[in-house]
Amino acid sequence: MPKMPQLGATLSSDITLLFLCHSLLEEIHKNSHPCRKIDYVRDDLSKVGVMDAGNQKSRYGYNGVLITRPTFYNILLSKVPKEKIQWGKRMIGLKQDEHSVEIECEDNLVVQTGEEGAAKPKVLFKGDILIGADGAYSSVRRHMYQAMKDEGIELPETDMAPLRFDSNCVVGVTEELTEKEYPALGNRSGDFYVIIGKERAIQVYLFTFAENRLGWQICGQMDKPEEYDEKDFRFSDWKPTAADELCEMVRHYKNPYGGTVGDLIDRTPKERLSKVMLEDKYFSTWFHKRTVLMGDACHKHLPFGGQGANQAILDSVHLVNQLYGIPSNSLADITKSFQAYYDYRSPNAKEVFKSTTMVANVLSARGFVSDMVRFVALGHLPEFINNLGMDGMNTDRPYLCFLPPPPGQGTVMPTPQAVPVHYKGGPMAAAVPVGDQ
């Protein structure tokens, strides 16, 4: 099983609603805290503003939650039959035609007996479809785009351009702490703080997790992002000193939960610390023949809006719905599913991509005008505008077409769902046709 980075994750109410269908909600609630607001403060703890999510339960039926990534991952993993997952296979090749798709993988689990550096054993998998859910540097995407080029299909220039970087990030989750040391742990609340650095474009996120740990995330804009190259980061070629430097810059910041940010860094075991590069990019080509992309592989969001995993999960529900009941494994039927998935999901993913980029700009920009924008945007917006923004992020609340719709929809109606193209069951509540069906 791969090592899981120690990142916290906020899951918004559209997603928590979804888990109800999978009877996972109870388990998630037991291991998470509801998140209703984010307090923004300066590095001396003076107040900048609040991002109030409003009454999500009454508006959308469920609250967004704050949960650690390994906890969430393990809950999901516990529901998947063991035999359905093969670990340690790295995809390195892709071939597809009218009839099937085949991938070649390096088998990283087979113990190497040969010389150091000898080629790893290869293994082939063949199937009807391939879903590329392999993250920002998707090997599936790379191979799919290359094949399209080789076939003379013109791709948009932006799809071929590298991902855009401008920030780096260090995240950690402390050892277990006591309520005596940090009384906020007793509040059982997922509301969290963001400290906005005064001199530099730095933000420090501070969370209280259900496991009596504090989570922290330091995001800092790079001085000369143009000097960095995508391939440098792909292989974690990020000097350890860069993480130390970022930590040193914020060590002295006061921690709203008590003490300083440095205290939390010192109480974080090395294995609970991760360094990540922050990049973003929206791709407009999502499928070709029998291969389709989802999640970060086709829309890599900056983490500032807490949307990346949410969007990936939404992709998966819509894709499953569009594949459900498919009458054959013909390329025509598969294309119909992929096209409907793309037509419905891509405009929403693109809108969310734009808003997360905007949030990042609002938080990172320096100077008087930026201070004023933050003052207005964080807590001084009229309630109806605030609600409009929240509604935009919470109205796509899909459910799986072969399960009963979940109760508790809230007062803000979800956007009509896409009609699954091959589904022959009863009519789904509030569904709209997509594509050319």
Ligand X SMILES: Cc1cc2nc3c(=O)[nH]c(=O)nc-3n(C[C@H](O)[C@H](O)[C@H](O)COP(=O)(O)OP(=O)(O)OC[C@H]3O[C@@H](n4cnc5c(N)ncnc54)[C@H](O)[C@@H]3O)c2cc1C
Which residues contact ligand X by CB under 6 A?
A: 2, 7, 9-10, 90-91, 133-135, 139, 169, 171, 217, 276, 295-297, 303, 306-310, 312
Q: Which is nearer to ligand X, 108 or 112 (CB)?
A: 108
Q: Are 308 and 300 in contact (CB under 8 A)?
A: yes
- The pairing of strands 202-209 and 192-196 is antiparallel
The distance of closest approach from Cβ of residue 404 to ligand X in the complex, given in angstroms and rounded to an integer, is 26
For residue 245, CA distances in Å to 170, 218, 219, 222, 338 come to 10, 11, 12, 12, 45
The distance of closest approach from Cβ of residue 432 to ligand X in the complex, given in angstroms and rounded to an integer, is 25
Q: Which residues of 99-117 are buried (b: 16+ CB within 10 A; e: fewer)?
A: eebebbbbeeeeeeeeeee
Question: Using CA atoms, how far apart are residues 372 and 390, in angstroms rounded to an integer?
Answer: 21
Element (H, E) at 170: strand 164-173
The distance of closest approach from Cβ of residue 76 to ligand X in the complex, given in angstroms and rounded to an integer, is 11
The distance of closest approach from Cβ of residue 303 to ligand X in the complex, given in angstroms and rounded to an integer, is 3
Q: Which is nearer to ligand X, 9 or 412 (CB)?
A: 9
The distance of closest approach from Cβ of residue 131 to ligand X in the complex, given in angstroms and rounded to an integer, is 10
- The pairing of strands 192-196 and 37-42 is parallel
The distance of closest approach from Cβ of residue 429 to ligand X in the complex, given in angstroms and rounded to an integer, is 26
For residue 167, CA distances in Å to 377, 424, 435 come to 22, 47, 37
Question: Using CA atoms, how far apart are residues 23 and 10, in angstroms rounded to an integer?
Answer: 19
The distance of closest approach from Cβ of residue 344 to ligand X in the complex, given in angstroms and rounded to an integer, is 18
Q: Which residues of 161-179 are buried (b: 16+ CB within 10 A; e: fewer)?
A: eebebbbbbbbbbbeebee
Q: Which residues pair with 192 in a beta bridge?
A: 38
Cα 25–chain centre separation:
19
For the chain, the distance separating the N- and C-terminal CA atoms, rounded to the nearest angstrom, is: 41
Q: Are 292 and 286 in contact (CB under 8 A)?
A: yes
**Tokens of residue 118, six digits:** 């000898």
Q: Which is nearer to ligand X, 9 or 173 (CB)?
A: 9
Element (H, E) at 57: helix 56-60
Burial class of residue 130 (count of CB atoms within 10 Å of its CB; 0-12, 13-18, 19+): buried
The distance of closest approach from Cβ of residue 162 to ligand X in the complex, given in angstroms and rounded to an integer, is 16
The distance of closest approach from Cβ of residue 338 to ligand X in the complex, given in angstroms and rounded to an integer, is 17
**Tokens of residue 392, six digits:** 């935009």
Residue 335 phi, psi (nearest 5): -60, -40
The distance of closest approach from Cβ of residue 372 to ligand X in the complex, given in angstroms and rounded to an integer, is 27
Q: Which is nearer to ligand X, 293 or 428 (CB)?
A: 293
Element (H, E) at 47: strand 47-52
